[in-house]
């Protein structure tokens, strides 16, 4: 994907250089990326063997491809129809298909970049079974993850990077977790400043947003939730538990069949995302590539998208203003100012939350950036809307 500026790369003791991902795959190095990079309009089998389709008399042998794909999927413990369209499956299943594609080659080194980010506990356990099996076959595995429990469960050695530099390599059994955190942060955990504002769970606080009896078949039934101003409320659950469905109801993407939603003690009908945004409630989707961004637009255009929608098509935001907004968000990425709300201001209209958008935003298409950068652009876009605080 990227070429070296310096240093050297060795595989099985021999120095090598890859011109692209295909060269790496042919050498036995396969990667599963955090963002699923498959084609939803093709079948599962076609995705597993994309670019390596078995042929018969010069034509793609679809029967052989489905048969071979079924064998690979069986090794992963996936009960999938190889002929089914990939797009009809969940994001978690698509991630497992990406892993099946990676191991369908004569893999020697498997790079897994946050492979469990979209998987539930059972799917993680199944993936770990496959990883251990590959390890027993002699496959070298580079497991990239921010889940420390999984790092300690799966790894033999831990390499720590900070700000793009190597901190060190350590045997997993010899590195305490608290020491790992210190090395990741570059400072003692005790030096981290405590949060200035903590909501006491036992304290009675009027919620700024609340919902009672929210229902939408088949996933949500009689759901109650309340969030206080300045509070971070975690919503936990396995895939299929209704977490995403609840968020979509609270932000007007889906309409509730029953129940009420109140914002600062006033009942509202959130029948569209636009209405929710007018009330200061915004949504950051889990599938950032297909739902969170418009890849053909530039980073700047994505960041100001909500503001442009609010102003309307007849009042376009000029390039200079886009750049000003994008750069200001970028400079403030690591700091969120908190200011008292002025009298008469929107109840959720606090200081914009700056998104960590990495290098100065510009005209680069958003699709050219991956992973957490997408999250930063979306947060920057939503934070750039003065009303967007939920």
| For residue 39, pLDDT beyond 60 | yes
Q: Are residues 315 and 386 in the same domain?
A: yes
Taking a C-beta distance cutoff of 8 angstroms, is the pair 215, 259 a contact?
yes
Q: Is residue 309 part of a domain?
A: yes
Q: Are residues 241 and 336 in the same domain?
A: no
Q: Are residues 23 and 75 in the same domain?
A: yes
Share of the chain above pLDDT 90, in %: 22
- Reduced to 3 states (helix: H, G, I; strand: E, B; else coil), residue 51 is coil
CA-CA distance, 266 to 263, in Å (whole number)? 5
pLDDT of amino acid 198: 63
Q: Which tens digit of pLDDT belongs to each residue from 146-171?
A: 888 999 999 999 999 988 889 999 99
Strand positions, DSSP E, 49-182 = 55-56, 59-60, 109-113, 140-144, 157-162, 165-171
Q: Are residues 22 and 114 in the same domain?
A: yes
Torsion sign over Cα 185, 229, 280, 261: positive
pLDDT, average across residues 130-135: 86
CA-CA distance, 356 to 371, in Å (whole number)? 12
Q: Output the domain CATH number for residue 251.
A: 3.40.50.300
**What range does the domain containing 318 cover?**
286-390
Counted domains in the chain: 3
CA-CA distance, 244 to 250, in Å (whole number)? 10
pLDDT of amino acid 350: 37
Q: Is residue 197 part of a domain?
A: no
Could you tell me the pTM of the whole model?
Answer: 0.60
pLDDT, average across residues 320-343: 58
Q: Is residue 162 part of a domain?
A: no
Q: Which of 283, 300, 335 is the last residue of a domain?
A: 283
**Which is nearest to 141 in space by CA: 149, 315, 130, 96?**
130
Q: Are residues 28 and 148 in the same domain?
A: yes
Q: Are residues 21 and 113 in the same domain?
A: yes
Q: Are residues 226 and 306 in the same domain?
A: no
Q: Are residues 224 and 309 in the same domain?
A: no
Q: Is residue 190 part of a domain?
A: no
Q: Which tens digit of pLDDT belongs to each residue from 342-359?
A: 434 443 433 333 344 444
Segment (H or E) for 209: strand 207-216
Cα–Cα–Cα angle for 85, 294, 86, rounded to 5 degrees: 10
Q: Are residues 150 and 16 in the same domain?
A: yes
Q: Are residues 144 and 71 in the same domain?
A: yes
Q: Is residue 73 part of a domain?
A: yes
Q: Which of 117, 138, 155 is the last residue of a domain?
A: 155
Q: Is residue 45 part of a domain?
A: yes
CA of 369: how far to CAs of 159, 279, 364, in Å? Answer: 24, 31, 9
Q: Is residue 175 part of a domain?
A: no
Q: Which tens digit of pLDDT belongs to each residue from 182-193?
A: 898 888 766 666
Q: Are residues 291 and 390 in the same domain?
A: yes
Q: Is residue 373 part of a domain?
A: yes
Q: Which tens digit of pLDDT belongs to each residue from 217-276?
A: 888 899 999 998 888 888 887 767 888 889 899 988 899 899 999 998 889 988 888 888
Residue appearing with tokens 């977490």 = 243
Q: Are residues 263 and 356 in the same domain?
A: no
Q: Which of 233, 260, 283 is the last residue of a domain?
A: 283
């Amino acid at each position: 994907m990227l070429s070296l500026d310096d240093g050297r790369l060795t595989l099985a003791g021999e120095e090598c250089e890859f011109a692209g991902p295909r060269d790496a795959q042919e050498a036995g190095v396969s990667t599963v990326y955090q963002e699923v990079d498959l084609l939803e309009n093709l079948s599962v089998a076609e995705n597993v063997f994309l670019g390596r389709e078995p042929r018969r008399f010069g034509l793609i042998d679809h029967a052989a491809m489905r048969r071979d794909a079924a064998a690979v999927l069986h090794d992963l413990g996936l009960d999938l129809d190889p002929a089914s369209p990939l797009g009809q499956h969940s994001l978690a299943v698509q991630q497992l298909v990406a892993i099946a594609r990676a191991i369908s080659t004569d893999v020697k080194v498997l790079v897994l970049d946050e492979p469990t980010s979209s998987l539930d506990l059972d799917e993680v356990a199944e993936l770990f079974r496959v990883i251990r099996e590959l390890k027993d076959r002699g496959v070298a595995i580079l497991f990239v993850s921010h889940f420390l429990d999984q790092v300690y469960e799966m790894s033999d050695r831990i390499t720590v990077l900070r700000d793009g530099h190597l901190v060190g390599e350590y045997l997993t059994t010899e590195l305490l977790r608290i020491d790992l955190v210190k090395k990741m942060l570059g400072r003692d955990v005790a030096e981290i400043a405590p949060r200035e504002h903590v909501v006491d769970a036992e304290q009675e606080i009027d919620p700024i947003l609340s919902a009672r009896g929210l229902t939408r078949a088949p996933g949500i039934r009689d759901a109650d939730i309340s969030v206080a101003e300045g509070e971070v409320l975690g919503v936990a659950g396995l895939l299929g538990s209704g977490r995403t469905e609840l968020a979509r109801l609270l932000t007007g993407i889906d309409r509730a069949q029953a129940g009420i939603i109140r914002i600062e003690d006033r009942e509202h009908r959130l029948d569209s995302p636009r209405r929710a945004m007018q009330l200061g409630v915004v949504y950051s989707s889990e599938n950032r590539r297909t739902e969170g961004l418009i890849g053909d637009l530039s980073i700047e255009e994505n960041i100001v998208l909500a503001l442009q929608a609010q102003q309307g098509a007849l009042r376009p935001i000029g390039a200079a203003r886009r750049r000003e907004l994008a750069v200001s968000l970028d400079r403030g990425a690591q700091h969120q100012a908190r200011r008292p709300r002025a009298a008469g201001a929107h109840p959720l209209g606090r200081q914009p939350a700056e998104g960590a958008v990495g290098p100065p935003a510009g005209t680069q298409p958003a699709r050219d950036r991956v992973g957490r950068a997408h999250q930063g652009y979306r947060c920057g876009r939503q934070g750039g809307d003065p009303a967007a605080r939920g």
